[in-house]
Structure 1
């Protein structure tokens, strides 16, 4: 039996760490009919991490709550490499609020960095939005 070859863009692993191809995971929230429609806070947070990896600043702004969203997001530092994401905890205390604790690892100029954050999310108009990092 002859195997079909998979186009490279479909076989690309998703940066968010889930065991799925990018096109079937975060890519579907970045573009296409499910754009901006992550079903829960954890999926939105993972798609935002993938958007940082792929430098999709318009997506990041569009999924940021307007009350806390910056006017723009600066381009990533040249040479920045995202190394991985570890979701420590995801909770949804009610239908329209969520919290996700994660660690994102990166490397810049030969130095490793870790971003440990507890992020809050809210659902408005049927869409999940990133609000802010908790103090």
Structure 2
């Protein structure tokens, strides 16, 4: 389980540092019926390693700052497949104000597959968690 959680941390570190080379190392190669897949919040399903990596390149190129604090991490390993769920607590540069920040929360499921070179990300699915007005007031103070 620790190996899976380590590669999961590397996945988020690659996003934070906009390291597309590291991101490319983390994602599994497409082989037969095993195809890399990704669902970013609000996006349609992306299928195929090249399409997935292209999406991360676009996100990285258009995100001047992003930080993830992962909570509620749960990992299950079944043979050569591991499923890790977590809450992504995200701090990012605000779109409307270059000096401000925006916060959000996404629930993610990351599915990993064991390969001869170690655990590789096979499927990432992120779903935004909508906050109510009461939750926003609590967070503001």
Both structures adopt the same fold (TM-score exceeding 0.5): yes
Map 1:1-135 → 2, pairs under 5 A: 40-67=3-30, 68=36, 69=49, 70-72=52-54, 73-74=57-58, 75-94=60-79, 96-106=80-90, 107-109=92-94, 110-133=101-124
What runs of 5+ residues in structure 1 fail to find an aligned partner?
1-38
Greater relative contact order, per chain length (Cα 8 Å cut-off, separation 6+): 2
Q: CA deviation at 1:47?
A: 1.1
Which runs of 4 or more aligned residues in structure 1 lie more than 6 Å from their structure 2 counterparts after TM superposition? none
Count of paired positions = 97
Q: Decide which structure has greater strand share.
A: 2
Q: TM-score when scaled to structure 1?
A: 0.61
Mark the CA change 1:55 to 1:129 in structure 2 (over 3 Å): closer, same or farther.
Answer: same
Mark the CA change 1:47 to 1:87 in structure 2 (over 3 Å): closer, same or farther.
Answer: farther
Q: Decide which structure has greater helix share.
A: 2
RMSD (CA atoms): 2.4
